[in-house]
Amino acid sequence: MSADGATLTDDLLEAARAWLAQDPDGQTRDELRALISRTEEADAAAAAELANRFSQRLAFGTAGLRGALGAGPNRMNRVLVAQAAAGLAAFLRERADDGDAPSVVIGYDGRRNSDVFARDSAEIFAGAGLHAILLPRMLPTPVLAFAVRHLGASAGVMVTASHNPPDDNGYKVYLGGDDDGAQIVSPSDSSIAAHIQRIADTTELGELPRSVGYSNADESLVEAYVAATAAVSPAPAGADGLRWVYTAMHGVGWETLSRIVESAGYPAPIPVEAQLHPDGAFPTVAFPNPEEPGALDLAYETARESSADLIIANDPDADRLAVAIPDASANGGWRMLSGNDVGLLLGWRAARAAVDEHGVPRDPSASLACSLVSSPGLGRIAEHYGLGFHETLTGFKWISRAPGLVYGYEEALGYLVNPGTVRDKDGISAAIAMLGLVGQAREDGRTIADVLAEFRETFGAFASDQISIRVDDVAEIAAMMAALRDDLPQTVGGVAASQVDDLRDGLGDLPPGDVLRFSLEDGSRLIVRPSGTEPKLKLYLDVRAATEKKARKRLAELAAGAREMLDAVR
């Protein structure tokens, strides 16, 4: 090993030993101790792993923190979470302008260490002089988002990695006050990150003050969420006799959803028993994400056995919703609706509710909003009903801030149907809204497939698809985006681009984002962006045609062209 290499390894070992000295978790201490020992014995693989963990820090951004569990600053663990909590506490105290102690509510899901991270955070918030409120048990992310507004809290923290792989966890931050319970955006994220870094650089974990003087939220908070969400769509007469299957995907959605279903008057679902209760190992799925291949296989099996009319699925923290319907042409007789299918149906529902019997908006400022990678069909709905429309960067931290919002969605199975109570995507309230649509269709003697056909007749056939390129090294994504920008393609699949937008420096009302948007001469669209939560490059494809058959044909052609474009820069 060169002198420089030896020095680098010595520096990493010194950092690892310092981390080990303050780590309160026996499991991560043992893991790190073994890694240090192997590195000292010149194990190259161990040295590389140590470098990965200690040569950089898990970045705190507008998605908070999210990463694999393990020891070191580039992993999710008790040291990192404690530093994040202390940094957030310092930010909230700096932000307070009334002299009163800020308040923060903390929630957690069923992932490994979620409860530990939540209690550590509550103790550090309380130790910093904040009024800390811990939710009474593991609960869905939407309950935490609701709690921030319901309690008038200064901030909220949800410990979850949503639908990420089993070994991940995360730390999602919401702000009260002027932010009205929405997730953080710039410049709050960078300010919080600076406080976290200062604490990590200057303060040992044992020096951070702690207190068990935090509060436990009363059950009445959950009851308030249940009541508000049941009111989203009380069961219509057509819901009687509805046979529907539900899976919680080994997450925390079932207990809360079942109470709301009963309160709203819907028949109880047929549960996918193997996936109904929280299990952070997610034993029946490779990825606990309803969008991933195979994730709904048990739900399909249950639906076939029970001759169900509908499948409803939540992701593990229940902020996303998936819907599947019977389809004789599909393999296995069931078809999962796309996020855009569901998003447009719920948007149509919201638009009709926003106008009076004469078709005039009840509130002139009422608007629909979606992320720029979601179907342009929502804009067509807004235009049809005389509502405002806003296109935002991806993420509900942006969608939830749209002026006059009555409904928002993004194609990644996220829907905001009750912005008056929850300022974030909510897979439970969206499920109730969807059950209401199904019940109403049944009352009229129709199915959701019939409603989709009516939508196409009214607004045109919109078809969307997504191509995801998963990589081992996120640097590959940056390289592909740079290569595209260096030589912007002017055609995709033989169709010329009428406009190419690079959002790196912002565009109109859109803030800066790592996004390329290709608008093609035939009206189709291709958007390229890195995933904000996973090591993926994502391509979003949208077309509109007179019929579904023509839209599907054009979509296949656009997908082939998009793959060719990407192959040229890989």
Residues designated catalytic: 162
Q: How many CB atoms lie within 10 A of CB 90?
A: 18
Burial of 307 (0-12, 13-18, 19+ CB in 10 A): exposed
Parallel, antiparallel, or unpaired: how do β-strands 270-271 and 321-326 relate? unpaired
* Helix (H), strand (E) counts: the chain: 17, 22
Q: Are 404 and 391 in contact (CB under 8 A)?
A: no
Q: What distance in Å separates the CA atoms of residue 366 and residue 514, rounded to the nearest whole number?
A: 29
Say which residue the tokens 């194609």 belong to: 411
Q: What distance in Å separates the CA atoms of residue 237 and residue 66, rounded to the nearest whole number?
A: 43
DSSP secondary structure of 202-224: H--GGGS---S--EE--HHHHHH
Parallel, antiparallel, or unpaired: how do β-strands 495-502 and 491-492 relate? antiparallel
- And the tokens for 319? 């902020």
Q: What distance in Å separates the CA atoms of residue 419 and residue 429, rounded to the nearest whole number?
A: 10
Q: How far apart are the first and last CA of the chain?
A: 32
